[in-house]
Amino acid sequence: MSISPSAQERKKVTTLSLARKKAQGQPITMLTAYDYATALAIDRAEIDSILVGDSLGMVVLGYETTLPVTMKDMIHHCQAVARGARFALLVGDMPFMSYQASVDEAVRNAGRFLQEGGMDAVKLEGGRERLPAIEAIISAGIPVQGHLGLTPQSVHLLGGFRAQGKTATAARKLIEDALALQGAGCFSIVLETIPARLARFLSERLEIPTIGIGAGVGCDGQVLVTHDLLGLFDRFTPRFVKKYADLHAEMAQAFAAYKAEVEASIFPAEEHGIEMPEEEWEEFLEELK
Ligand code: KIV
């Protein structure tokens, strides 16, 4: 594959690049990816960061929640993404029960994302209750992105995939959690499905960048689940998603066209086939006699 001149000049995005973007008031872009081809396309679009989200459980593996996703699933998909993306900051999402049971396990599992998965950083959900794990992971030299608001791994505790931070008490707790994550050394925090004015307030008070999803334009950056943005996942689309394509419909059309052409013997046409030199064919027939 040839590398374009602009690709040669491009620099790898780091946690410091994100901090610089916040300082300069430049919005940060992040998207999820779970496979090589998507990671390559996102990287070519010069998106700052790729999250290998545990959302893969829902949009790729077909689970109802992210809870069944394992470390094995995550490492497998991280490796594919790392093979496709050279420039974006790669963040691996720590799955349910990979960091909650003990600090030791949290550090070892976080390390696997870098050593085996080819990631640059990890993300984990939760506030002050996660500080021991976050501090230990960061002490091991691994950058951590926090995740507050709607934290899908706590779906049952939250009573469903519901917006968070809508009361004064909940908003105060969120701010205290965000300040604690910043104090522990997180390089950024994802804010999911919280009121836009609360997200803006938080983003203005924090020194580290906030990345919003369903949290309004006042965040320092935005992340979307790529399958939602592409219209690939049509089981359920959150209100905050903007569909930039309708690939599910396009796929359905392409599959129907393929079926019709195969059934009508239109595909494969001559140009899709491989020819054998005439003399070889003659010799082959001759030898059969
Ligand atoms: O798993 C994921 O894709 C995420 C994003 C929604 C932030 O955590």
| Three-state secondary structure string covering 196-245 | HHHHHHHHHHCCCCEEEECCCCCCCEEEECHHHHCCCCCCCCCCCCCCCC
Ligand 1 atom closest to Cα of residue 32: 3
Q: Taking the chain (289 residues) in consecutive chunks of 10 residues, what is each chunk's mean pLDDT? A: 60 98 98 98 98 97 97 98 98 98 98 98 98 98 98 96 96 98 98 98 98 98 97 83 95 98 97 95 95
31 and 50 in contact (C-beta within 8 Å)?
yes
CA of residue 229 to ligand 1 center, whole Å: 13
As a CATH number, domain 9-245 is 3.20.20.60
Task: Tell me the residue type at 251.
Answer: M
User: How far apart are the C-alpha atoms of 64 and 123, rounded to whole Å?
Assistant: 21
Residue nearest to atom 1 of ligand 1 (CA): 53
How far apart, in Å, are the Cα atoms of 193 and each of 64, 180, 253?
A: 19, 20, 33
Any ligand 1 atom below 6 A from CB of 60: no
Q: Which of 192, 263, 270, 286 is catalytic?
A: 192
Predicted pLDDT of residue 4:
53
Predicted pLDDT of residue 112:
98
Active site residue 46: no
CA of residue 24 to ligand 1 center, whole Å: 25
Query: Coil, helix or strand for 249?
Result: helix
Residue nearest to atom 8 of ligand 1 (CA): 53
Q: What are the sequence ranges of the domains in the chain?
A: 9-245, 251-288
DSSP letters, 21-56, are HHHTTPPEEEEE--SHHHHHHHHHTT-SEEEE-TTH
